[in-house]
Amino acid sequence: MQFSEDEILLIKLCKGLVQICDRINRGEPAYLVEDSQPFPQPLYEAFQGLSLKWILRDEEMRHPAILCMVEGARKSVEAVEPDFSEFVDYPEDPLIGNMTRPSEECEAWASRYALNLEREQNQSYIPRLMAEIERLSLPHSTYTLFRRFIAENPFPSDLIIALFRSNNPDIDPVLDLLMQAYRDAPPQSESMPLCKTCGGYLDCAARDIEGCCEPLEGRVDRAPIEDTVICLIRPSLIELRLARTLEKMGLQVELWPELDKADLKVTLPTGDIWAIDAKDWGSATMLARELNQDTIPNIGQSQSFFVIPDYRWTNLAYQAAFKSRYKGNLPVFSESELIKRVKGVLK
């Protein structure tokens, strides 16, 4: 039997949604946390097909975050199969918040998935940057310079890049990799602006990140690729904020020391070194699960800490969800608790 392209797309879509609903019905998570592929394969393929359709039809991507497409998919299914739609449309669907966007849990998993998959296949520019720095015996500070530039410049013009190069000649051997963090700016419109802080589209759960995501004013030529947004710029917001605060207190701070063994290496006036990993995750559950298996490698520190942003920690539900699941050995502080501790030492 021959199917048309549309029928194949619909079959894949339905199959994927049914698999997800089956999991929910059986009391399992809709996505398999420990699996290399958390979502059903047909759903990925259907979303790819739908995206292409939208781009061909409207010349724009309707649902930039892949998980927003679950909502799009729901509507498409509704249009052709009302009975089926009733069957799949659960009010407590854990993937979608407010019926319009993926839940934080969903986004958190999505970013982890993208990062790990890229790392495993060694495709991302970050592991290749690390390898190049070792191969060419460049100073480790090259990594910090590289990363900080991207975190602080989501939309660099040619002039900004030229200035960066002339101030930092160590960057030239890895300039190709730096440029891989960016792409030509995607279509920008009033209905779908980019975020001026992280460079991502605004239609995503990252709106919950403090200071993110407000619309960019004016047009830009160059924007970060999605991996850069998810894996580098957004996680760096808290890291840069902490570095600035600690530097203002007169401390010596090194970001991402020894090729990213920690987020911050803080040297106290006593000579003691603190190693800090900062985590701005929307899902407290996923964060606890992650930190239960995480340590900070040796960079000469006497103490190690995990730090969580105040704006997340003051949410008592978040804090409780984290504390009930965190079984690790390292102390976990909010940003202000960490600063209090530093002040205590400085007295």
Residues at the site binding Zn ion, with contacts judged by CB under 5 A = 195, 197-198, 212-213
Angle of CA points 40, 41, 46, to nearest 5°: 105
Shortest Å distance, C-beta 186 to Zn ion = 14
Shortest Å distance, C-beta 194 to Zn ion = 8
φ, ψ of residue 327 in degrees (nearest 5): -120, 10
Closer residue to Zn ion in complex, CB, 20/194: 194
- Token pair recorded at residue 276: 């800090």
Spatial separation of the C-alpha atoms in residues 314 and 336, rounded to whole Å = 11
How far CA 153 is from CA of 158, 214, 230, 242, in Å, comes to 12, 15, 15, 18
Shortest Å distance, C-beta 318 to Zn ion = 20
Spatial separation of the C-alpha atoms in residues 202 and 224, rounded to whole Å = 14
Closer residue to Zn ion in complex, CB, 176/214: 214
| Closest residue by Cα to residue 9 from 46, 39, 42 | 46
DSSP codes, 243-288: HHHHHHTT-EEEESHHHHTSSEEEE-TTS-EEEEEE---S-HHHHH
Shortest Å distance, C-beta 212 to Zn ion = 3
Closer residue to Zn ion in complex, CB, 151/177: 151
Closer residue to Zn ion in complex, CB, 211/300: 211
Shortest Å distance, C-beta 198 to Zn ion = 3
Q: Are strands 264-267 and 101-102 parallel, antiparallel or unpaired?
A: unpaired
Closer residue to Zn ion in complex, CB, 197/301: 197
Shortest Å distance, C-beta 94 to Zn ion = 23
Closer residue to Zn ion in complex, CB, 142/283: 283
